Structure 1
């Protein structure tokens, strides 16, 4: 299993457009990819799950992936977070 943490720095938090970008970034991978924030964990391939967390600015999130392409999935998430200006 691979894991990486980020802090959301975007003023609007993880709102609909960037959440969609994160979901799209991992949908092509076979690995299970999860997002954990505020003590809750959801499937990162589910836009409804991600949006249900209501992630605001300053929230620490942890992305974990397990499977044959877990490292590649995490790299895709990191690229999406950077591209969308979401966090560090």
Structure 2
């Protein structure tokens, strides 16, 4: 299963606005994507509550995984998004 390891660039991590932007992009993907942080089980990247529950802080690494046609492209797009400052 393709995956990407990404450092979250937003200073506040995946909280509030950055989480909402990420979840919206993941929800628009044609296939399911999971996101995980070290020590926690992978969760659906389409669930705002699950993403917020990971408590990802700025600078921490997350692992994105997807499977299916176009998974590499979806992961690249989402990884690129997380390397941007999504706070404002």
TM-score by length of 2: 0.81
Instruction: Name the structure where strand makes up a greater proportion of residues.
Output: 1
TM-score by length of 1: 0.81
Query: Does the residue aligned with 2:28 lie in a helix, a strand or coil?
Result: coil
Query: Does the residue aligned with 1:27 lie in a helix, a strand or coil?
Result: helix
Query: Does the residue aligned with 2:55 lie in a helix, a strand or coil?
Result: coil
Does structure 1 residue 79 correspond to structure 2 residue 80?
yes
Q: Aligned partners of 1:38, 1:46: CA distance in 2, in Å?
A: 19
Does structure 1 residue 54 correspond to structure 2 residue 85?
no
1:5-45 deviation line (CA, Å, top 9, x unaligned): 11224321221111111111121223220001032211001
Q: Which runs of 4+ in 1 moved over 6 A?
A: none
Q: Tell me by how many angstroms 1:65 deviates.
A: 0.8
- For these two proteins, the number of residue pairs brought into alignment is 85
